Structure 1
């Protein structure tokens, strides 16, 4: 199922994308947890449909989720990174923009790289879970562009200035709730209209969980 956030003539909404239409639904992250599933939040719950459909031609796709923060994982590009310890980094919410929004780069920022990533959208806290159970907290999957200012990264060990600028995490265009093989999914990136070499999550140093 493809779940999106959209802008339309009446405002913004969540919707299930079905063919050429957007079927409006209640905010899936605001719904109360199902009985017995409080720890896992919205994961696995059916969307609440509002009975209104809009043609896709009349809507604009926004970032499919507005996270409080974005957690990235470094040292996970390929097998060689297995010799390095896992390293998480944070990106503030202000970095998140929609899939077709422009990224404004300040003058003098230097080299800037686009990095296509598989993004995991959590519906609940992973605290207390094991690798065997943590995927129960996953609401779905989307694509992120982890934009990085390389010249700034060299002088900032926490990468805050290099990765935390407004617009440095384009997300979307939707959340896929039924990704069949998150540990073996190909991700491709197009830069200035030129397709770059695709990569797959099967090549990561560590698995999703």
Structure 2
């Protein structure tokens, strides 16, 4: 089941996206009554996906992210090995979240801004101290995240809050895939395509089997530190291949079984 949040002529709604192609072409949105965390109860209202606008599928109270979770990415960004720089945890504020198609807006004083296409976990119920073998009991599903990062700020500040937490620096979507067995999570392709001056190039082309901490371990690790609430998002880390993006570019993060998260880049 694909759960999303849409803007339609009468307002905003949570919906289940049904039918159509993998990218949503030809799909229909069925409105959900209330919240999206239990078995959906439908209102009877529907819209063609082509007639509405996809928003971020959820508005989290917090986005908890794992940094340095792919050894090759650690080497390309930090010029050190993962043995010396193991995975770490940081938080992106909810004000950084935007939906599919919304612009990533780069302020003039942020330079070397890079995309980081990642698999994201969406929490389905309040939880704390979850054992790794119980991770499925607290997860609502998976989506795609672009952990936008200003490298100049990341290294000049000495910590990551500003570099990764600016408004629009957390595109999320296009929907939440609730089938927790939709793919082999330890063998899931992750790609990011950069379009610059009309030319599209695949920059990230990796696989979740390169994670240092896998999904069950990530849920255990993060929930040992923070109480997680329904709708909270966990970013599982970026593979290698991140690159600078500039105003006028577009980023397409692709994960089979979930879809594409596409956002343009603008200056403000």
Q: What TM-score comes out, normalization by structure 2 length? A: 0.69
Describe the SS at the equivalent of 1:109.
Answer: coil
- Asked if structure 2 preserves the Cα contact closer than 8 Å seen for 1:75 and 1:82, the reply is no
Match of 2:58 among 65, 75, 96: 65
User: Partner residue of 2:191?
Assistant: 188
Show structure 1 runs of 5+ residues with no match: 30-41
Structure number having the greater strand percentage: 2
Describe the SS at the equivalent of 2:154.
Answer: helix
User: Partner residue of 2:167?
Assistant: 166
User: Partner residue of 1:38?
Assistant: none
Q: What TM-score comes out, normalization by structure 1 length? A: 0.87
- Asked if structure 2 preserves the Cα contact closer than 8 Å seen for 1:76 and 1:204, the reply is yes
Describe the SS at the equivalent of 1:197.
Answer: strand
Answer yes or no: is 1:23 the counterpart of 2:40.
no
RMSD: 1.6
CA distance in 1, matches of 2:141, 2:34: 14
CA distance in 1, matches of 2:39, 2:145: 24
Deviations 1:13-37 (CA, angstroms, capped at 9, x unpaired)? 01111122101112434xxxxxxxx
Aligned 1:1-209 pairs, distance under 5 A: 1-19=1-19, 20-29=27-36, 42=37, 45-78=38-71, 81=82, 84-178=85-179, 179-192=182-195, 193-209=200-216
Describe the SS at the equivalent of 2:166.
Answer: coil
Give 4+ residue runs of structure 1 displaced > 6 Å after superposition: none
